Amino acid sequence: MNQSSNLANALSLVTFAHNGQTRKFNGTPYICHLLEVVAILHHVGISDDTTLAAALLHDIIEDTYIDESTLSELIDQTFTSAKQMSCIHDSVVTDIVRELTDNKLQTKLERHDALLARILTMSENAVT
């Protein structure tokens, strides 16, 4: 399976999970934000499937009804062919998404402070 197929699988997941969501600041479909993140990573030379898939999925736990366990199952089902070819690693994608997920019970300032504190221990893919 090629990179385009892997990203298409991740895009399918986020399109489903974020269906109907819009950006609170400008009202654009939420999927636009996720695609912008991938475009930025691609622009700076990041092209590995795992990082780009995690970029697409980075808000799925935080901003949808999908929890970490469900995400792991969905990735496992969706990316089976890619995993068989060692192109993408579901546990790594889920780990990256978990690292990037904020606690929505915290205030915005608390979330930013928590991110700054944990960024020192994040994986290279998450920091990217």
The residue extents of the domains of the chain are 6-102
Per-residue pLDDT, 81: 52
pLDDT tens for residues 82-124? 454 344 555 677 777 777 777 777 787 887 787 777 776 767 7
pTM score, whole prediction? 0.68
Q: What is the dihedral of CA 16, 20, 26, 32, to 10 degrees?
A: 20
Return the percent helix, strand and coil in the chain, to nearest 5. 70, 0, 30
Strand, coil or helix: what is 27? coil
Per-residue pLDDT, 27: 93
pLDDT tens for residues 2-54? 456 667 888 888 999 999 999 988 999 999 999 998 998 888 888 888 888 88
Q: What confidence tier does 71 reach under pLDDT thresholds 50, 70, 90?
A: confident
Q: What angle do CA 120, 90, 83 make, to 5 degrees?
A: 135
- Domain 6-102: give its CATH architecture: Orthogonal Bundle (1.10)
Per-residue pLDDT, 75: 75
